[in-house]
């Protein structure tokens, strides 16, 4: 016999789906912002490479920038989830409004997602040709 969507299994699937959607939106946003930043700083990266910066140093710069954005957003997310804990408790049965393990896991997951979203733009920054970058402007 099939369970109703409001049952335990349906509720878990709904929560997982919404969490995955939120994580995908966060990754897409961070990717877009980081890629935009890297494209605006192409000349700067070209100058850095011409002056002897390594590809690893440029990748670390881009990763640090993305993690700084995530580090600013995580406390905001904590604040909003703390403020919305009553709503969460009302609509999602079996969810405690303040669970430190869930908050720690979600924080780690967001940081990993930020790193994954920054990988391609960081590689792009490391592959900038200094001659082309300096000729662009």
Asked whether residue 50 carries a pLDDT value surpassing 50, the answer given is yes
Domain boundaries, the chain: 28-136
pLDDT of residue 57: 94
- The C-alpha atoms of residue 136 and residue 107 are separated, in whole angstroms, by 40
Q: pLDDT tens digits for 56-111?
A: 999 999 999 999 999 999 999 889 888 888 877 777 666 676 778 888 888 999 99
- The C-alpha atoms of residue 100 and residue 104 are separated, in whole angstroms, by 6
Assign 130 a pLDDT band (cuts: 50, 70, 90): confident
First to last CA, the chain: 67
Structure tokens at 16: 């997982």
**What phi, psi does 44 have (nearest 5°)?**
-60, -45
pLDDT of residue 93: 66
> Average pLDDT of 6-18?
69
**CA neighbours within 13 Å on the CB side: how many for 75?**
5
pLDDT of residue 137: 63
Asked whether residue 118 carries a pLDDT value surpassing 80, the answer given is yes
> Average pLDDT of 108-131?
92
- The C-alpha atoms of residue 92 and residue 16 are separated, in whole angstroms, by 12
């Amino acid at each position: 016999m099939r369970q109703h969507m409001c049952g335990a299994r349906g509720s878990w699937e709904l929560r997982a789906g919404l969490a995955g959607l939120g994580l995908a939106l966060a990754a897409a946003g961070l990717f877009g912002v980081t890629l935009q930043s890297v494209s605006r700083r192409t000349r700067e990266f070209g100058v850095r490479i011409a002056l002897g910066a390594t590809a690893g140093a440029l990748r670390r710069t881009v990763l640090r920038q993305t993690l700084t954005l995530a580090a600013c957003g995580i406390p905001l997310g904590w604040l909003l989830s703390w403020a919305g804990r009553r709503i969460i408790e009302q609509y999602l049965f079996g969810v405690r409004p303040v669970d430190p393990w869930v908050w720690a896991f979600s924080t780690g997951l967001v940081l990993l997602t930020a790193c994954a979203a920054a990988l391609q733009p960081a590689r792009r920054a490391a592959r900038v040709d200094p001659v082309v970058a300096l000729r662009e402007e």
